[in-house]
């Protein structure tokens, strides 16, 4: 959208964008953009919240009054909290037992597997994961190795390490998300991410990788850590001990 905005501006049509990934918009030097701290796919925040959505829209349109671009301003507020029905969701398993095992992440995955299979059954066999054919345990071992060494060997034949990290991370995250969706009760995308990055050891591994490479001199590693592994609305989180 930032690129398209430049074409509009050159044609004499003022343009403004709503940015869900701030860094992309900054690099594209959009003529005018409002960066919002919302999940991907929801540029106006929460659904069924017209007053809040109107505030986002008016904040973006107000930038059209300015001609001193490129302009990138931040919308200051998070979307309204979840509805009562969404608050009824709870994690499908108790992860506390994982702290007593040799490998808490793999124990966590084992506890979630029955819920994942149930969610897959309800979806007629459709899967959210499946980007790779590698065993999940091998993907976990790879992400841990990469966390400690950027030269860790890719477990995916023919796929470079950094690309393999993104595919492995997406596969594992989608496994968790599908398992969570089997639990009765409504849950929003933000709540799902809050659970994954705030409560699971797998999410914490992602945060550890981000912390390891966020300030890297290698631009590819830095971009992976800051833009691809952890969504912007979870960017405030730090790895737990």
> How does residue 100 score in pLDDT terms, banded at 50, 70 and 90?
low
How, if at all, do strands 32-35 and 17-19 pair?
parallel
pLDDT in tens, 133-152: 899 999 999 999 999 999 99
Q: What is the pLDDT of residues 49-94, one digit of tens each?
A: 889 999 999 999 999 998 887 999 999 888 776 444 444 566 666 6
Spatial separation of the C-alpha atoms in residues 139 and 174, rounded to whole Å: 13
Give residue 3's pLDDT.
Answer: 80
User: Higher-confidence residue: 10 or 189?
Assistant: 10
Query: What is the residue extent of each domain of the chain?
Result: 2-74, 86-234
pLDDT recorded at residue 212: 96
* pLDDT at 97 exceeding the cut of 60: no
9-45 pLDDT tens trace: 889 899 999 988 787 788 888 899 999 888 767 888 8
């Amino acid at each position: 959208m930032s690129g398209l905005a430049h074409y509009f501006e050159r044609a004499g049509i003022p343009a403004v964008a709503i940015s869900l990934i701030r860094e992309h918009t900054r690099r594209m030097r959009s003529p005018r953009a409002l960066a919002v701290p919302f999940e991907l796919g929801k540029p106006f925040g929460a659904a069924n919240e017209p007053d809040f959505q109107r505030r986002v829209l008016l904040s973006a349109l107000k930038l059209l009054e300015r001609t001193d671009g490129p302009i990138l301003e931040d919308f200051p507020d998070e979307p309204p909290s979840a509805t009562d029905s969404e608050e009824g969701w709870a994690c499908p398993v108790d992860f506390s037992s994982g702290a007593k095992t040799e490998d808490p992440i793999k124990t966590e995955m084992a506890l979630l597997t029955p819920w994942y299979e149930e969610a897959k059954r309800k979806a007629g066999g459709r899967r959210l994961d499946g980007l790779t054919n590698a065993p999940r345990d091998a993907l976990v071992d790879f992400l841990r190795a990469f966390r400690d060494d950027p030269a860790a060997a890719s477990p995916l034949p023919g796929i470079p390490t950094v690309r393999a990290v993104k595919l492995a991370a997406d596969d594992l995250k989608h496994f968790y998300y599908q398992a969570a969706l089997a639990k009765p009760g409504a849950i929003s995308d933000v709540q799902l991410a809050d659970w994954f990055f705030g409560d699971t050891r797998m999410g914490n591994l992602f945060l550890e990788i981000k912390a390891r490479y966020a300030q890297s001199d290698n631009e590819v590693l830095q971009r992976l850590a800051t833009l691809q592994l952890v969504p912007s609305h979870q960017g405030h989180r730090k790895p737990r001990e």
